[in-house]
């Protein structure tokens, strides 16, 4: 899962190969992680795509996510980002998602051809077991909708 806050960009994954009860919160910038975690918890690994990471259990991860809404004090996410590089990255992500997922014709000058191209076009597999295709978890019974959370 990718999480973009006005403090940083994070990739959150389960540590399936060695400790499936734990999660990695990963980032390419140490200062993004120090927003939420002490420096002592941050591990550095040069040979990975996200060189900084923190190991969490599910309870800690739940705490992080339950507190994130308290940080929303803005009406425009991109404008709330103070760091120029992070703000530029947010604009790039917004533009790419807009171009691929917005269904309206001709918005922002993005052609229909660009809008309907496959998101996996020209994507090569980059790790063992990765086919280059998107994950097929959407719509599966293992995905919990927000409405279902509210019923619990």
Q: What is the mean pLDDT of each run of 10 residues along the chain (152 residues)?
A: 96 96 97 95 95 96 93 95 96 90 68 55 46 46 52 52
Q: Is 143 among the domain residues? A: no
Q: Is 99 among the domain residues? A: yes
Residues 88 and 48 both lie in one domain: no
Distances (CA, A) of 152 to 31, 60, 67, 132, 147: 36, 20, 19, 36, 9
What total number of domains does the chain contain?
2
Residues 30 and 85 both lie in one domain: no
Output the pLDDT for position 99.
82
Residues 26 and 60 both lie in one domain: yes
Contact 30, 52 (CB under 8 A): yes
Output the pLDDT for position 40.
96
Q: What does pTM read for this prediction? A: 0.68
To which residue do tokens 């060695």 refer?
18
Residues 14 and 54 both lie in one domain: yes
Question: Which of 12, 44, 73 lies at the terminal end of a domain, its last residue?
Answer: 73
């Amino acid at each position: 899962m990718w999480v973009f806050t006005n403090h940083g960009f994070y990739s959150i994954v389960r540590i399936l190969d060695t400790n499936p009860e734990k999660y990695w919160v990963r980032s390419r910038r140490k200062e993004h992680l120090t927003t939420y975690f002490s420096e002592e918890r941050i591990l550095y690994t040069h040979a990975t795509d996200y060189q900084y990471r923190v190991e969490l259990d599910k309870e800690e991860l739940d705490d992080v996510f339950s507190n994130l809404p308290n940080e929303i004090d803005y009406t425009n996410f991109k404008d709330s980002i103070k760091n120029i590089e992070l703000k530029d990255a947010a604009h790039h992500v917004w533009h790419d998602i807009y171009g691929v997922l917005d269904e309206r014709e001709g918005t922002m000058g993005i052609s229909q051809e660009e809008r309907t191209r496959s998101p996996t076009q020209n994507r090569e597999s980059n790790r063992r077991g990765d086919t280059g295709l998107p994950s097929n978890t959407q719509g599966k019974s293992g995905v919990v909708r927000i409405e279902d959370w509210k019923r619990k």
